[in-house]
A and B are shown apart, each in its own frame.
Chain A
Amino acid sequence: MLRYFFQDPFNALAGWLQSHLVLPILYATGGMRWEDIGFGWSLFAVYGLAQVLVTFAVCLPLEQLAPVERRPLGREVLTDVFYTLLSRVGLLPIVTFVLFYQVQVTVTGFFVDRGWIPPTLETLLPGLLGHPVATFFLYAVILDFADYWRHRLSHRFDWWYALHAVHHAQRQMTFWSDDRNHLLDDFLSALWFGAIALAIGIPPFQFPLLVLLLRFVESLSHANARVSFGWLGERLVVSPRFHRAHHGVPAAGRQSCNYGGVLPWWDMIFGTADFSSRYAPTGDPTAEEAMASGSYPAQQWAGVRRLGRTLLGRKLLGQGSAGYSR
């Protein structure tokens, strides 16, 4: 068994977590119906922890060696750490599993009862069956394309940007900033990807290293590091320099650039790429201070307030926007 741990440490740790923590809790609380999903969550949590550790091990030295800004880490970075742990290891995966399990049951059941069985990518492209790595990469490209448009629309609509501003309000961007999102913004993202999943199926779950790689690129792109991948590399994978342009003060709000999460291709195709070599200061001047430097609850509440003002302002004024865009 010990040898197996080194063959598949993800599963070994997830199995231990499932047997010694998740199942006893489910048993004690009358939740044994979720035991199968519990193992999915255990795997998710182990992947998440591995993502955090790998990102930490790589990005921290980079930020020390080649920082864009030299300043001591503020309290708001600690809040970003909390966001990361919540998002990748803790509560959010549980909520995602339980909530979207129910949504998926309802929606899939609706279609199945009417004779349409939601496909997987392999049923749409039968040649993919038996080639899981190729399947995974194709899923990654499709989902990254979908994420480009989700991200772009979250800047386009004022009410959506009112929530997304939590992500942009951070003035001291670090590799921890990737998961700094409003809960409602996360919810909208999950809905967005839920719809995609219904159309092409959910991606396979058996390639933790590839998942790790994708999430690592996203975290790295937020690092406070003067790192560029060179002329060609910048056009293949999103770099810290490329994504910093998106977080730069001039790009906050409606007229932004570099929306891509992992691949810069979509920005190149749709004319939103900025490959200039400047490293602008980050943040959103229109965001209230609580959104930038408040605690986790303060940031979340600030997002709700801004959303309320945006929606209310539109209703009262009868206008198409509430004036937060630049």
Chain B
Amino acid sequence: MSRPPLPTRRTLLATVPAALAATSLATSASAAAPIVGGGLAFVMNSAAANIGVIDMAREREIARLPVFRQPHHWALAPDGRTLLVGDAAGNGLFFLDPARGTMLGHRPFPDPYQLWFSPDGRFLVTAALRLNRVYVWQPGTLRLLKRFDIASMPSHIAFAPDSSMVYLSLQGTDRLAAIDLGALALRWVAPVGPAPAGVMWHRGQLLVGIMGSDYVSVVDPADGRVRERLPAGKGAHALFLDPEERRIYVGNRIAGTITAYDAASLARVRTYDRPGGADCMGFAPDGRIWMTLRWAAHVAILDPASGRSTTFPVGRSPHGLFLSNSPTLASRQGQMLNSA
């Protein structure tokens, strides 16, 4: 099998934003991996200081890309060509080629625990969980637009579809925060339930996984008022909508289960047993759900129809998970490019 040509400095400069060109490119050659037809999965092994690159067809790790300390989450650049991975404890932002599974470079960055681009691609928002800060950056230049000191533990991020607002769970409290991206001002902070984790915009309202309890809060995005509580398992964490927008899945940390809701009615339709600390999920083209199991150092692949799952080992405390060929990703990417 022939190895594709390594990216040169010139091709890198042509494909990544200007800010990335200023990063260290020293690791690109040593971390090269072949393009894999079946797609690549990237697993952020948060207690192993590396990113596992998985051949999705073979369900096997083919490379480990070193980072400084703790890679947690990721964001795909609006052009889809650069995957950003935040190394929170290492205060570093790493840039990867999602098609090749190679490292492009890195740069110092304050505690990028969670990071996400707004749907219109105009803002990069990062949640510095350890430092109790939320940063709003200009993509491309990575110029800081505004810093918000918000206690405590800002964690998961969700945007309004028109990119007017960003919402963050404050995991060290019982609150959710809303920031107006037009005015760059904090709009409200409201109680939604103990240790809120995952946040998702869904059909005009916000869904928030309540990790300190056993439910998902349905929140009014206008004022943060809790409209409804959806029963989940103990330790409800992150939420994910499938590509067909039929089901919403939430992992329950204490219960060791995954709850599936009907996306239209928000009725609970099924509960799957999946111990090991299910965290980030990704939807594969074959309909199966990939998920990191943080305390088991494995990735699980769940067939939502049969309820059966398989696992394979990855690094310690796998957290963020990116599937390069996920239909969800294609849909979101198309949305971002159309609105940009």
Q: Which residues of B contact A104 (CB under 8 A)?
A: 130
Q: Which residues of A contact B133 (CB under 8 A)?
A: 109, 112
Given A39-B295, A40-B47, A201-B90, the answer on whether A32 and B235 have CB atoms closer than 8 Å is yes
CA of A8 to CA of B295, assembled, Å: 12
Q: Which residues of A contact B111 (CB under 8 A)?
A: 108, 112
Residue B110 at the chain A interface, CB threshold 8 Å? yes
The reply to whether B132 and A105 form a contact with Cβ atoms under 8 Å apart is yes
Size of the A side of the interface (Cβ < 8 Å), in residues, is 44
Size band of the interface chain B makes with A: 35 or more
The reply to whether A39 and B47 form a contact with Cβ atoms under 8 Å apart is yes
Query: Which of these binds chain B: A16-24, A166-174, A318-326?
Result: A16-24
Q: Which residues of B contact A122 (CB under 8 A)?
A: 68, 90
Residue B251 at the chain A interface, CB threshold 8 Å? no
Residue B30 at the chain A interface, CB threshold 8 Å? yes
Residue A126 at the chain B interface, CB threshold 8 Å? yes
CA of A204 to CA of B298, assembled, Å: 21
Q: Which residues of B contact A43 (CB under 8 A)?
A: 47, 316
Q: Which residues of B contact A204 (CB under 8 A)?
A: 49, 69
The reply to whether B49 and A132 form a contact with Cβ atoms under 8 Å apart is yes
Interchain residue pairs with CB less than 8 A apart (26): A4-B296, A11-B47, A11-B316, A14-B295, A16-B295, A23-B235, A24-B254, A27-B234, A30-B194, A32-B211, A33-B212, A101-B130, A105-B130, A105-B132, A109-B133, A112-B91, A112-B110, A112-B131, A113-B147, A123-B68, A129-B66, A129-B67, A129-B68, A130-B66, A201-B68, A201-B90
The reply to whether A120 and B298 form a contact with Cβ atoms under 8 Å apart is no
The interface of chain A, by Cβ under 8 A from chain B, is 1, 4, 7-8, 11-12, 14-16, 18-19, 23-24, 27, 30, 32-33, 35, 39-40, 43, 101, 104-105, 108-109, 112-113, 117-120, 122-123, 126-127, 129-130, 132, 201-202, 204-206
Residue of B nearest to A113 (CB): B147
Q: Which residues of A contact B24 (CB under 8 A)?
A: 126
The reply to whether A109 and B276 form a contact with Cβ atoms under 8 Å apart is no
Which of A19, A33, A39, A127 contacts B172, CB < 8 Å? A33
Residue B207 at the chain A interface, CB threshold 8 Å? no
Residue B92 at the chain A interface, CB threshold 8 Å? yes
Q: How far is the CB of A298 from chain B (nearest CB, A)?
A: 38
The reply to whether A206 and B47 form a contact with Cβ atoms under 8 Å apart is yes
Q: How far is the CB of B156 from chain A (nearest CB, A)?
A: 13
The interface of chain B, by Cβ under 8 A from chain A, is 24, 26-27, 30-31, 47-49, 66-69, 89-92, 106, 108-111, 130-133, 147, 152-153, 171-172, 194-195, 211-212, 234-235, 253-254, 256, 275-277, 294-298, 311, 313, 316-317
Q: Which residues of B contact A39 (CB under 8 A)?
A: 47, 294-295, 317
CA of A149 to CA of B67, assembled, Å: 31
Which of A105, A123, A129, A206 contacts B48, CB < 8 Å? A206
CA of A197 to CA of B139, assembled, Å: 31
Q: Which residues of A contact B296 (CB under 8 A)?
A: 1, 4, 15
CA of A122 to CA of B108, assembled, Å: 11
The reply to whether A30 and B212 form a contact with Cβ atoms under 8 Å apart is yes
Most buried by B among A27, A30, A126, A202: A27
Q: How far is the CB of A93 from chain B (nearest CB, A)?
A: 15
